[in-house]
Structure 1
Amino acid sequence: MKKKVTIHDLAKMLNIDSSTVSRALANSPRVKQKTRDLIQAKAKELGYSRNVVASNLRSKRTLTIGVVVPYISRYFFSTVIAGIEEHATENGYQVIICQSHDQIEREQQMIQTLLSYQVDGLLVSISMETENTDHLKHVLNQEVPLVLFDRKCNGLSLPTIHIDDFQMGYEATKHLIDQGCRRIVHFTGSDQISIYHDRKQGYCQALKDHGLVVSEELILTSALKEADGKLLAQQVLDMPLRPDGIFCANDLTAISAMQLLIEKGVKIPEDIAFVGFSNEPLGNYLSPALTSVNQNPKEIGKVAMQTLLGELSTKPSPDTDRLVPAHLVVRASSLKKG
């Protein structure tokens, strides 16, 4: 096996002090450019590679960030990750990504694994099952900076990056009311999850503000997966008095619900107008295209990483709640009035 080239080998070959070689390989301005070029060229010629682990042990930093999301495959989370990675790379950090599949046990395992890798900080979007927060408290007890995004965590004061879900739930519902809808169904997730609770509250407030009754029979709860969309759509078809609008708390469920309703002969938006949430790219290619809330996920990722960098500094930010702007993207699925 070929022996790995070390800094000391380079120093001996070039007859240069090893500390100077080390600085040159780190591109330090303390070493003259001509000397830096000589050392770096020799290192490249001999296939030298820096021992990152040893360097990190000396600095007590690994320059890695752990990210835990429910599903990497979801457009929202994959785009948040893109924002995180972009800003992390600009600041010299690498990112390790894990997914919880919206299960608290897996979330606990992933966080423990990331801590064992000695990540410098954690960015987490908690699972739909996360009520017990002992594993998050453990992170704080280890003095590892932790920032949440998208989903807020009750009972813990943590920096959290999200949109105003109440306001966007309100605007989505108001849009349907403005289009003439008077019997609006809401597809929601667990009330334990902040985003679904807040979106539902926005829906209820919009109905009240426009003189419409909030009816529990029109609020349908599920895990908001693709299969749930078809089940909820069938419940809508079975209602004695069919609704004229549906506001869904995510696009995945809205898209599958629309597909089943169209198969059953329902005209969208003429019979039932639709609004989703998260602005999945697929929604733009449906016929009719889906009106949805753009959560600005890449900006959420960027702001989350910026906030974590602040937590890693000597002067962490006192802010515990940071809002990223969102907006409604209106398309044909909701335009009853054309």
Structure 2
Amino acid sequence: MEKEITIYDIAKDVGVSPTTVSRALNNHPAVKEKTKKKIFDAVHKMGYQSNVFATNLRTRRTNNIGVIVPRLNSSFQSSVIAGMEKAANEGGLNLIISQSLESFEKEKANANTMFNSRVDGLLVSLASGTENIDHYTPFLKKGIPLLFYDRIAENSGCTGIVIDNIQAAQKATDHLLEQGCKRIVHVLGNININVYADRLKGYKYALLENDITFDPSLIIHSDLNEEAGEEIVRKIMKMNPLPDGLFVSNDVCAASCIRHLKLEGIRIPEDMAVVGFNNEVISRLVEPNITTVDYPGYEMGELAMKNLIKYLENPKEGMLEKTNKITLRSDLIIRDSSKRK
């Protein structure tokens, strides 16, 4: 096995003191640019790896932020991570990302790994199978900042960043009612998750305000992925009378539903008006374009990371100390899939 290259080897190669090498690697202003360049050239040539662990023991910081997401193959989560990445880069931090695959057990294992990796902070969007959040207690005990986003733990004492899902769903349902829809199917995920529970509330409020009786047979629970569209449409086609409106909790699933409804000879929006959620790219690519709720994922990620960084720099100043919920704006974008009037 080759011997580990140390700063002493680099110092000998360049002809400077080990202290100068150490300062140059930490970008100290006292080291001349010319010397710095020589040192960095030697570092590359000799294959030196800085001892992160030794540095960590001194600073008690790893500069790593953990992120636990339910699924990485979601365009919403991808845009959130892009926002986090931007703010993390600006703050000189790295992201360690893991996915729970909607499993409580996997989320627990991920949290444990993040804790043992000594991340400086943790950002979490909960799995649909998460029953409690006891696995985050070690972070809270140790004072490691923990922030939930999108799918949050209500009443956890931790900050959560969300949109007003009740209001967003109410707006979407109101729009379908304004277009003359009377029987609106609502497709959503597990209502143990705040986002879906709140969207169901918003849907119910809209019906209530328009004197329409809530019909539980018009609620379909689904994984909300592309494959789910076929099964949802199969259920819709068995309904009698046929619904005239469809409100789906994400755009991928809404697009899949539109495709399968068309195969059944249903005209969109004439026979059935459709609204999606998230304003994903696919909503603008299918025909007709999908009316959707603009969910600011990128801004959510950026804001979450900025708040975490602010807290790490000064715990008394950070927003995490002052509020349990940050609510972002969302808008209904009306397109052809629902326009009947």
TM range (shorter): over 0.9
For the residues of structure 2 that align with 1:47 and 1:96, how far apart are their CA atoms? 24
Deviations 1:86-122 (A, max 9, x none): 2111111111111111110111111111212111111
CA distance in 2, matches of 1:197, 1:108: 23
Query: 1:334 — aligned with what?
Result: 338
Q: CA RMSD in A?
A: 1.9
- Compared CA separation, residues 22 and 323, structure 1 to 2 (3 A): same
Deviations 1:12-50 (A, max 9, x none): 444533222211221111334444344334444544342
Deviation at 1:265, TM superposition (A): 0.6
Distance 1:307 1:2, change over 3 A: same
CA shift for structure 1 position 128: 0.7
* Distance (whole Å) between structure 2 residues aligned to residue 75 and residue 301 of structure 1: 13
**2:64–2:94: 8 Å Cα contact kept in structure 1?**
yes
Moved more, 298-307 or 178-187: 178-187
How is 1:112-261 mapped onto 2 (pairs within 5 angstroms)? Answer: 112-261=112-261
Further displaced range: 71-80 or 42-51: 42-51
1:78: which partner in 2? 78
Matched AA of 1:295: Y
In structure 2, relative to structure 1, the CA distance for the partners of 1:240 and 1:314 (3 Å cut) is same
Deviation track 1:183-242 (CA, whole Å, cap 9, x = no partner) reads 212112222110001111111112222333322222222333334332222222111111
- Which whole-Å CA distance do the structure 2 matches of 1:124 and 1:116 have between them? 16
Q: After superposition, what is the alpha-carbon deviation per residue over 1:119-155, rounded to whole angstroms, capped at 9, x for unaligned?
A: 1111110011112221122331233221111012134
1:14/1:187 Cα in 2 relative to 1: closer, same or farther (>3 Å)? Answer: closer
Q: Which amino acid aligns with 1:323?
A: T
Question: Contact (CA 8 Å) 2:251, 2:282: kept in 1 or not?
Answer: no
Distance 1:47 1:128 in 2: 44
SS in 2 for 1:160: strand
Match of 2:291 in 1: 291
| Distance in 1 between residues matched to 2:118 and 2:216, nearest whole Å | 47
SS of the aligned residue for 2:300 comes to helix
Give the superposition deviation at 1:301: 0.7
Distance of 1:109 and 1:40 partners within structure 2:
39
Distance in 1, matches of 2:71 and 2:107, equals 11
- Which is worse superposed, 122-131 or 250-259? 250-259
- SS of residue matched to 2:123: strand
SS in 2 for 1:62: coil
Matched residue type, 1:333: S
**1:274-321 Cα shifts (integer Å, max 9, x gaps):** 001112212222121211112111111101111221332332321221
Matched, 1:322 2:303: no
- Please name the residue that 2:36 is paired with: 36
Contact in 1 for aligned 2:184/2:218 (Cα 8 Å): yes
Instruction: Find runs of 4+ consecutive structure 1 residues off by over 6 angstroms.
Output: none
> What is the alpha-carbon distance in structure 2 between the residues aligned to residue 294 and residue 272 of structure 1?
21
Query: How far 1:8 sits from its partner (Å)?
Result: 1.8
Q: What is the distance in 1 between the residues matched to 2:221 and 2:43?
A: 61
- Aligned to 2:129, what secondary structure does the other structure show? coil
Partner of 1:48: 48
- Letter of the 1:270 partner, please give it: E
User: Taking structure 1 as the reference length, what is the TM-score of the superposition?
Assistant: 0.93
Identify the residue that residue 281 of structure 2 maps to in structure 1: 281
Q: Secondary structure at the match of 1:101?
A: coil
Partners of 1:41 and 1:187 in 2: how far apart? Answer: 58
User: How many residues end up aligned between the 2 structures?
Assistant: 337
- In structure 1, the gaps of 5 or more residues are none
2: CA distance between counterparts of 1:138 and 1:50?
29
Unmatched segments (≥5 aa) in structure 2: none
Q: Which moved more, 1:132-141 or 1:8-17?
A: 8-17
Q: Is the 8 A contact 2:13 2:42 kept in 1?
A: no
1:105 matched to which residue of 2?
105
CA distance in 2, matches of 1:283, 1:164: 21
Take 2:239 and 2:17, find their aligned partners in 1: how far apart are those partners? Answer: 82
Structure 1: distance between partners of 2:39 and 2:235: 71
TM-score (norm 2): 0.92
